[in-house]
Amino acid sequence: MKRLLSCLAALLVVLSASAQHTVADNIVWGYRLEPTFDGDDNVKAIGTGSAGNYEVGIKIPADGMFNGATISGVRLPIRSAEVITAAAVKVYGSDKKSVLTEQSVDLSLLADMSYCDVRLDNPVVMQGDAYVAFVFTTKGSSDKAKNPILYDKRTKEKESFLLKSGSSFSDYSSYYGAYILQVQMANATLTDYTATFSPVKGVKTRQDVENTIDFVVSSDGAVAVTDVDYTISVAGQAKETRHASLSIPAGLKQEATLPVAFTAPHELGEYQVEMAITKINGQDNDKAAETTVSTFENISRIDRMVVMEEFTGTDCLYCPRGWAGLEKARKAYPDRFIGLSIHQYPNDPMNYYEYPSLGGNSVPRGYFNRNGGDVYEGILKNVEKYMNETTNVELSATASFTDESRSSVAINAQVMSLVPATYELVYVLVADGLKGTKFVQTNYYYSFDAGSFSDDPDDPMAKFCKGGIYGTYYCWPVYNDVVIGSSYDWSGNQGGSLTLQKEQTLNKAYTVAMPKSADSPDLCEAIANAQYDVYAVVFALNNFGFIANGCRVKVENTTGSSQDTFGVLAPTEDTCYSPDGKRISEKAKGVNIIRMNDGSVRKIMVK
């Protein structure tokens, strides 16, 4: 008796887990169930290449859900109403020949790039597989007349795109996709609780960071979903069970978005997240065994700074555009943008010729992480573009004046690389708040209306236009981001390089000289008047000469030494070469050429 009761209990559990209901109201079914298709890049048009008669349909399988269900209406996808001269709906039996019902379509109901809902006067009760077709005639020589059939290229279910030729249908679903016709069904038998996650594609996550991804939950249940329990496993880790509230109505292919947060793994590259819905409204999910696997690309957690090198000059009529561009980007992205304003005009009080011209002498001219771009037009888009690129190198720095006279700045950079790599380091000093009677800018835009550049009254270019505070031919702006010193000299960059192993951190120091009063009296006076508002910028060049990342720090008004204050790591031997330049695995007797990890080269004699 106990055994019998146990068996009955087990049977009841199974029955309750797969409970079903007949849904009397109409539900929409098809191989594509989005309510609209206009503007969807997945929807394409095709035809026979000429206007004429068309008959296009889909198969409705008589599985457990649709056995005894009623086809009560059809939703017809219309590309162009004006080219259709006649239209009808036909429902065929499983032989694709016997017509179960046929109904003409009122052409006045048709509308371009939308569904036309047609209620069947004689609904069809399914006793086996059925085929629903749209029969219509087109006229004219336009593309819409020759190619009136709309299909979804993503879905390629068998017999989801049937085109009649002569007396029989041919299946084109594997070639193109699914015809997006939909049917309205009544009295369909749906399982109470059935839901799955849809896989996510093409999404990038950031390593070691909690990422929130929107997953789509799709339900075919007869009961509305109010909450779910689900499991999640990230990169092969143990499953974690979670609970979440949702609101999904009953019916076929009903959907809702569920934000899911998880911490991405440390390793870069592709990894998988496996998810399954175990319970719906506290009841067992009929599709609990269906695990959804999404593949993500894990990218660096490191924020990429954007270094903009802007070449300019006070005698340049058009250079206010560069001034405005820098100010605009500084304001929009104060924590991700680094501006370097490089003045290279002979009579410019901020002239700094030792910085390389980067292949040109025209001004204003701009580079974003050493990629060319306009100094003002579309500057925020350029900053966003390079800001969103990934990087594997992270920089930080400290900086202070080396003595009370502020004759130089000691900069110590800390560099970490997620992958083995060699980077050339560039050290730059910039000053903010520079102004004075000799800091005069020529301005081509003084007679322009501010609206010529932007509808935003706060756009920095408005200051140089008619009515602006700098809206005269000669004007006296306050200059920021002005390069006043760097590791560049006439022979090139003297900042050296670092070779790092995977996830290695190294320090590298450099001292940059401040401008000298004897050479640049007006500039030195302006820096002093600005209360030494000076910043150190360090950026790393990769093997292709592009800026991989950078940092910007305030130069502290304390004094120190780049060798003593910052605890710089002593350079170590990196690679060994013979006197004729051949690389060798270890030092040999005689003279050896040793390249250090800071980029310096030494000669060592081994006896």
pLDDT score recorded for residue 11: 35
Examine the domain organization and report whether 482 and 550 are in the same domain: yes
* Overall domain count for the chain: 5
Cis peptide leading into residue 364 (ω within 30°): yes
Pairing of strands 556-559, 393-401: parallel
CA gap 519, 473 in Å, rounded: 28
Picking from 436, 460, 439, 427, the residue whose alpha carbon sits closest to that of residue 535 is: 427
Residues of the chain with pLDDT under 70: 1-18, 23-25, 558-575, 577-583, 585, 590-607
Task: Report pTM.
Answer: 0.61
pLDDT given for residue 337 in this prediction: 97
Taking alpha carbons only, the member of 77, 78, 74, 181 closest to residue 117 is 74
Evaluate whether 32 touches 178 at the Cβ level (below 8 Å).
yes
Give residue 567's identity as a one-letter amino acid code.
Answer: G
Residue 225 lies in a domain: yes
- Same domain, yes or no, for 203 and 100? no
* Same domain, residue pair 510 and 368: yes
Q: What is the pLDDT of residues 203-224, one digit of tens each?
A: 999 999 899 999 999 998 888 9
Q: Do residues 205 and 98 share a domain?
A: no
**Together in a domain, 313 and 390:** yes
The tokens describing 345, both together, are: 């005009």
23 and 172 within one domain: yes
The domain boundary residue, chosen from 268, 283, 299: 299
Contact assessment for residue 244 and residue 232, using Cβ atoms and an 8 Å cutoff: no
**491 domain residue, yes or no:** yes
CATH code for position 109: 2.60.120
Classify 8 as helix, strand or coil: helix
Question: What is the span of the domain harbouring residue 185?
Answer: 18-189
Tell me, what CATH number does 290's domain have?
Answer: 2.60.40.10
Does residue 203 sit in the same domain as residue 286? yes
What distance in Å separates the CA atoms of residue 270 and residue 293, rounded to the nearest whole number?
12
Same domain, 30 and 150: yes
Does residue 287 fall inside a structural domain?
Answer: yes
Q: How far apart are CA 15 and CA 78, in angstroms?
A: 43
Q: Are residues 468 and 488 in the same domain?
A: no
The type of residue at 586 is: E
Under 8 Å between Cβ of 467 and 449 = no
Structure tokens at 306: 């954007």
The whole-angstrom separation of Cα 29 and Cα 92 is 17
Give the integer Cα–Cα distance in Å for 326 and 306.
Answer: 12
Instruction: Please give the Cα distance from 343 to 321 (Å, whole number).
Output: 14
Ordered DSSP codes for 294-313? EEEEEE--SPPPEEEEEEE-
Residue given tokens 């405005």 in the structure block = 324
